Amino acid sequence: MRRRHMLHGLLLGPWWLGGVVPRTAWAQAASLSNLQLSRGDGALLLDFAVRLQLPRAVEDALQRGVPMYFVASATVRRSRWYWRDARIARVRRTWRLAFQPLTATWRVSLGALSQNHDTLPEALASLSASAGWPVCELSQLAPDGDYVEFAYALDTERLPRPMQIGLPGASDWVLRVERELKVPAS
């Protein structure tokens, strides 16, 4: 019986570690360097800055003309003891990053606005930070117990369908950072 447990441990150990190791690898690809909430202009404002280190597979796809979408989302919630926490407000921003091979420039689009950059680090810097982003109106907030769930991620669901086939479980394509932050008192 003891040999059997040892054999299972030897056989399943690498498989189990295989599920743990990629998580630590991608955790270093995206990290928050700044996340702050403030009150101003009648709204709750969010400032964030994410440090991005693109995995080689993502960078190769970008060089070949595949656009990538990065999404920042913030959800304001109110704590409740009797039920799930109530959602007060939810906002989302989506950036599109694409390489323009004819001009050898990087194009970052946010809604109808677009900017061209000469290098990939410049383009990543423009899409990985935001200041003064209004999350909700101050009138929606309670005096106590509200918090913000923030997430910044690479949206792999917007990739071309053939590229999505092998993605589930591919750690090279997981760029995500999440944080929870208490709303400051007025």
Domain encompassing residue 18 = 2-182
Q: What is the mean pLDDT of residues 169-176?
A: 78
Give 177's contacts (C-beta < 8 A, 6+ positions apart).
30, 31, 32, 50, 151, 152, 153
6-48 tens-digit pLDDT: 444 444 444 344 433 333 343 457 899 999 999 998 999 999 9
Predicted local confidence at residue 41, as pLDDT:
87
CA atoms within 13 A on the CB side of 129: 11
Closest CA to 174 of 15, 29, 72, 65: 29
Total number of domains in the chain: 1
Residue 149 makes CB contacts below 8 A (sequence gap 6+) with: 74, 75, 77, 178, 179, 180
- Name the pTM for this structure: 0.80
How do residues 70-84 score in pLDDT, each as one tens digit?
999 999 999 988 999
Going by the DSSP 8-state scheme, the letter that residue 145 receives in this structure is S
124 vs 159, more confident: 124
